[in-house]
Chain A
Amino acid sequence: MPVILNHLSNLIDAPRLVTQTPLLRASGLKKQYGRITAVDDVSLEVYSGEVLGIVGESGSGKSTVLRLLNLEENVEAGDYRLNISGLEAINLFTLARFQRREVQTHHIGIVYQNPHLGLRMRYTSSGNVAERLLITGERRFATLREAARVSLAASEFPLNRMDDPPRVLSGGMQQRVQLAKAIALEPKVLLLDEPTTGLDVSVQALVLDTLKRLQRERHLAIVIVSHDLGVIRTLADRVMVMRHGRVVETGLTDQVLEDPQDAYTQQLVHAKL
């Protein structure tokens, strides 16, 4: 009996056991910078409690996707929804700047690779965290102190250093401050852009562990962008592989890393392992 090999690779059913609606749904995302198309027809879904990894080489558009999901930039085309009460029916890209800021503040947390993008390096670490509450109108100093303490502790930041400015902290500590800031308002979505790149391997492992614990405890929908497949393997449930602004493969993390279907993914995986 002749076997048609790989005929299943493009045949994946729609979810049947998982019946809840994904927390985050983006479809047909397109972003251009002048004549360069950075993101081309990218679609993704992330459920609460799930970690989606996005991998690809520099310039693949993976970080741009994250910026779009953080509502930092406008798209040429695309639909982006969060399954959060009151927002379900709204394509977030159609919101005005002011409303976007509301969504961003309350529902999305982000950690950047470069702490300078996410932190005020000369302000206190606790102040960096407290700022999130200030944006929402909290005006009690004692409440701000306590919230900063709670978030920093959840990020496993040593509280005796909470009033040190990030500029005097190590890279790993800076990322913990970013993380505390990102989770301060208990968002539903956490976006991580190369959160451990540039850290020592042991520090990196500790930060990843904190992320894992937070993800489990808070049932966050996490999207993590990284070119480090080790990081992705540790953290992500599913992986999306990007190249030239397009998605070339998606799958369970272990499957994409161990049995990549796409020619490019095979190169990528073999280059890194």
Chain B
Amino acid sequence: MTTSLAALAAPREDYSYAFLDAYAKRELRRRTLKAIAIPGYQVPYASRELPIARGWGTGGLQVTLSLVGPESVIKVIDQGADDSVNAANLRRFITRMSGAATTTDALQATIIQSRHRIPEEVLQENQALVLQVPDPEPLRAVQSDSSKAHEMHADADYGQMWLVLYEQLVRYKQYIQGASYPSLVNGRYVISPSPIPRWDTPKLHQSPHLTLLSAGREKRLYAVPPYTDVRPLEFEDIPFQVEDQRGWICQHTGAQNKFMNEIPLADGTAAYELSDTGYMEKLSAEANGSTRGATYYDDEGNFYHAGYLKPPVQPD
């Protein structure tokens, strides 16, 4: 009896599981472990070619692909929205290459890949947040020479970062850095927390979930492990402030004290809606029995770590 060659060979596959080959995934996992071991330290890695362009989330995507398994539940958001073209494309690609399930519910997901937002509901220990990072180097603005910037990180020489804040206070009487507010991780490394709004920066502090930040074009990834201190840079006598959106009410749900998108209206005024579409969906569907988790900011705007955010002080 003869066996055909075709019967002996493994079935043909066009791609490895989760697209990346085993060696690439192994390298990424090693780099990720190193990043978790040294919170805030930027670990270089070999960024692979992907079927999307650099600058469209390839850093986050590679980390997600190295973590994903058939039992994973994936949520992908872009500026808070699950339904943007970019988020939808990434989600479809990840599930097609891995067989993972998808969700828009922040609490159901095991891996959340995000561009520029952290969900409003408090993430939990079994969850990983993967943030896409365009520019991982917080010192870029003050030191264009990257080898000098490395030395500065090694020496924890962050005086110039504070100088930038000093200049802002002198000129504008407040910290004007909007997104990507530089923060000190575990008392050691200053990171650029991707361009998440200031509103989201405190959410990284002592959080139950793991945060991985990855820049595909710049080939660097770094991490904020669970339960790690993250402090936005601030002067002792002039506390850091999140965006002041008091009085902004979501036009769809009536929610307040969550991060809002501002929608300019023809008459020159503005309407507002929740930036986190998954959370908005939940609020709308609440009548139908959907369960809502605890949020980082309560309905009065109080942050869940009491005392972490301080009342504003005007510099002299």
Task: Consider the complex of A and B and state whether they touch directly, i.e. have CB atoms less than 8 Å apart.
Answer: yes
Residues of A participating in the B interface, judged by any CB pair closer than 8 Å:
97-98, 101, 120, 123-124, 126-127, 130-131, 134-135, 139-142, 144-145, 163
> Which of A98, A140, A141, A142 has the largest count of B CB atoms less than 10 A from its CB?
A141
- Identify the 7 closest CB pairs spanning chains A and B, nearest first: A134-B159, A141-B235, A135-B159, A134-B162, A140-B236, A131-B163, A139-B236
A131 to B159, CA, bound (A): 7
Judge whether B316 is part of the interface by a CB distance below 8 angstroms. yes
Chain B residue with minimal CB distance to A126?
B170
A269 to B157, CA, bound (A): 45
A139 to B158, CA, bound (A): 11
Jot down 27 A-B pairs with beta carbons below 8 A, ordered by A.
Answer: A97-B151, A98-B155, A101-B155, A101-B157, A124-B166, A124-B170, A124-B171, A127-B166, A127-B170, A130-B163, A131-B159, A131-B160, A131-B163, A134-B159, A134-B160, A134-B162, A135-B157, A139-B235, A140-B237, A141-B166, A141-B235, A141-B236, A141-B238, A141-B315, A144-B235, A163-B170, A163-B171
A196 to B84, CA, bound (A): 61
- Choice from A124, A126, A130, A141 contacting B237 with Cβ under 8 Å: A141
B-side contacts of A130, CB under 8 Å: 163, 166
> How far, in Å, is A82 (CB) from chain B's closest CB?
21
Judge whether B169 is part of the interface by a CB distance below 8 angstroms. yes
A127 touches B316 (CB 8 A): no
A-side contacts of B160, CB under 8 Å: 131, 134
B-side contacts of A123, CB under 8 Å: 163, 167
In the complex with contacts A98-B155, A145-B316, A127-B236 CB distance below 8 A: no
Chain B 163-206 per-residue mask, 1 if CB under 8 angstroms from chain A, else 0 = 10011011100000000000000000000000000000000000
B-side contacts of A120, CB under 8 Å: 163
A-side contacts of B167, CB under 8 Å: 123-124, 127
A-side contacts of B162, CB under 8 Å: 134, 139
> How far, in Å, is B78 (CB) from chain A's closest CB?
35
- How many residues of chain B are within 8 Å of chain A by beta carbon? 18
A-side contacts of B163, CB under 8 Å: 120, 123, 127, 130-131, 134
A195 to B167, CA, bound (A): 26
Residues of B participating in the A interface, judged by any CB pair closer than 8 Å:
151, 155, 157, 159-160, 162-163, 166-167, 169-171, 235-238, 315-316
A144 to B168, CA, bound (A): 14
Having A131-B160, A141-B166, A142-B237, one finds 17 other A-B pairs with CB under 8 Å, namely A120-B163, A124-B166, A124-B170, A124-B171, A131-B166, A134-B159, A134-B160, A134-B162, A135-B157, A139-B162, A139-B236, A140-B235, A140-B236, A141-B236, A141-B238, A142-B316, A144-B235
A130 to B166, CA, bound (A): 9
A-side contacts of B237, CB under 8 Å: 140-142
> How far, in Å, is B110 (CB) from chain A's closest CB?
39
A-side contacts of B151, CB under 8 Å: 97
B-side contacts of A140, CB under 8 Å: 235-237
> How far, in Å, is B216 (CB) from chain A's closest CB?
32
B-side contacts of A126, CB under 8 Å: 170
A-side contacts of B157, CB under 8 Å: 101, 135
A141 to B163, CA, bound (A): 10
A126 to B315, CA, bound (A): 15
> How far, in Å, is B241 (CB) from chain A's closest CB?
14
A135 to B152, CA, bound (A): 11
> How far, in Å, is A121 (CB) from chain B's closest CB?
13
B-side contacts of A134, CB under 8 Å: 159-160, 162-163, 166
A-side contacts of B169, CB under 8 Å: 141
A-side contacts of B170, CB under 8 Å: 124, 126-127, 163
A135 to B160, CA, bound (A): 8
> How far, in Å, is B209 (CB) from chain A's closest CB?
29
> How far, in Å, is A25 (CB) from chain B's closest CB?
28
